Amino acid sequence: MLNCYLKGQQEHERPEFIPYAHLRIRTKQKVTVEVLDHLEHLALVDFRDSEGVERLQKAIQFADQLHEVNTDGVEPMDSVLEDRCLYLREDDVTEGNCTEELLKNAREKVEEYFVAPPGNIPLPKLEERETFLKGS
């Protein structure tokens, strides 16, 4: 949220995802409405308008360039830091007891409990939602 606000303040040139011309990128078919709807349910993200979907499409295209690298016989890597030592902590109590501070973040609280809605409120189905995806 903070990021969006700050970005809105300054006029940056929007980066564009341009694939390398000499590479023949194998790109999937246009991202379908079903996939977008599924993603909106899973991540509770709202693509908002066709420009949002376009950016997603271009980002996938950009990432597809990775397929051009020959990885035969190479162990997959999760992160460049994966050969670092995983630090092990001693089993001592060093934190906690800050109920008041934590509850300051809560919009609603009841006797030191956080208050949440009664259960997950699932995103309504595509047909029932106000989303531009319906038009696609």
Partner 1 sequence: LCLWGHPYLNSIFLLFFFFFSLTPWVPVVGLEIHAQISSNSKLFSGSQVQFAAPPNSLVSFFDASLPGTLPVLNRRCVEAAVMTGLALNCSINKKSLFDRKHYFYADLPAGYQITQQRVPIAVNGSLSYSLCIDNKMSQMVTKTVRIKQIQLEQDSGKSLHDDVRSQTLVDLNRAGVGLMEVVMEPDMCCGEEAAAAVRELQLILQTLGSSQAVMAEGQLRVDANVSVHHPGEPYGVRTEVKNINSIRFLAKAVDYEIERQIEELESGGTILNETRAFDSKLGCTVPMRDKEGKQDYRFMPEPNLPPLILYNARSLPANMNHQQVVNIDWIHERLPDLPSVKRAKLVEQYGILPEHSFTLLNEAGLTEFFEDVIKQTQMKPKKVIGWILNDLLSYLKQHSLTVKESPVSSFLLADLLNRLEKKEISSTAAKQVFAELWKGEGKTPLEIVKEKKLQLIQDQEDLERICQAVIDGQENEVIICQCRKDGVLALPHLLGRTRSSLPGSLV
Q: Closest CB to partner 1 among 15 and 76? A: 76
Query: Tokens 């499409």 identify what position?
Result: 57
Work out whether 79 is an interface residue with partner 1 (CB under 8 A). yes
The burial of 47, by beta-carbon neighbours within 10 Å (0-12 exposed, 13-18 middle, 19 or more buried), is given as: buried
The CA radius of gyration of the chain, in Å to the nearest whole number, is 22
Query: Binding to partner 1 by residue 98, rule CB under 8 A?
Result: yes
Q: Candidates 16-24, 59-67, 75-83, 127-135 — which segment interacts with partner 1 by CB under 8 A? A: 75-83
Cβ atoms 122, 41 nearer than 8 A = yes
How crowded is the C-beta side of 22, counted as CA atoms within 13 Å? Answer: 0
- Applying CB under 8 A, which of residues 28, 45, 114, 124 lies at the interface with partner 1? 114
75 binds partner 1 (CB under 8 A): no
- Residue 70 engages partner 1 in binding (rule: CB under 8 A): no
Write down the least CB distance from residue 83 to partner 1, Å.
7
Closest CA to 133 of 14, 36, 2: 36
Which residues of this chain interact with partner 1, rule CB under 8 A?
Answer: 38, 41-42, 44, 78-79, 81-99, 102-103, 105, 110-120, 122
